[in-house]
Amino acid sequence: MPTLTEKLLATDLHTFNVPPLPEILTAYKEYVATGGYPYLSKVDAFIVEKHSLPTTCAEALHHQTYLASQEYARQRTEETKKGLIADGWIEINLQTWADVPTTGRAELRLDNSDDMFGGINVKVCRLIGNTFRLTKDSEPQTHAFFLPPRARRQGYDAYYLAIRGKSAYYRIIV
């Protein structure tokens, strides 16, 4: 059975769509569990100390640490998604955006990590129908538009929330 050093030296540094080595992912999770922010260089140092790795595999280790950070983030996103769906939230994505009702009230949960203040925002919104055309020759369609309380024009378009690639969930308030 190959050692971790041999596995690291055998990795291809130019591939990013592969899972990380299980030992590196486990060590990454251990570092996160200590409470420190997982800067890649600090995680690298943690793994080198834990596994007594030589300096010859530093570049491969950094690559594997990056892959582990991406996998860890993906796993946390999936856990969050499962928890939200279990609590009654419905994800807004390209398959479900047209099914959002156009009347009533809803809670809207947005991942605003690209905004200045970032973080997760949960807002109570009223739903209205918004008429739009997919192309200039297509028939007008109506879809949901989330408006915060007392707002008349600045809200959240269900279609935009679906295509922007960030997580967006809603649940109807009765």
Domain parsing of the chain, residue ranges: 4-86, 90-173
Q: Which of 92, 107, 96, 38 is nearest to 69 (CA)?
A: 38
Is the confidence at residue 112, as pLDDT, over 80?
A: no
Q: Which of 14-23, 51-60, 75-84, 139-148 has the lowest mean pLDDT?
A: 139-148
pLDDT of residue 135: 58
- The model's confidence at residue 174, banded by pLDDT at 50, 70 and 90, is confident
Mean pLDDT of the chain: 85
Is the confidence at residue 134, as pLDDT, over 60?
A: no
Is the confidence at residue 70, as pLDDT, over 90?
A: yes
125 touches 156 (CB < 8 A): yes
List the 141-147 sheet strands across, edge first: 90-91, 168-173, 105-111, 120-132, 141-147, 156-157
Question: For residue 44, what are the CA distances in angstroms to 17, 59, 74, 162, 163?
Answer: 20, 10, 20, 36, 35
Q: What's the rounded Cα separation, in Å, for the pair 9 and 111? A: 38
pLDDT of residue 128: 74
Is the confidence at residue 141, as pLDDT, over 70?
A: no
Q: Where are the beta strands (DSSP E) in 58-148?
A: 90-91, 105-111, 120-132, 141-147
3-state secondary structure of 153: coil
> Hey, what amino acid is at 83?
G
Place of tokens 């297509």: 138
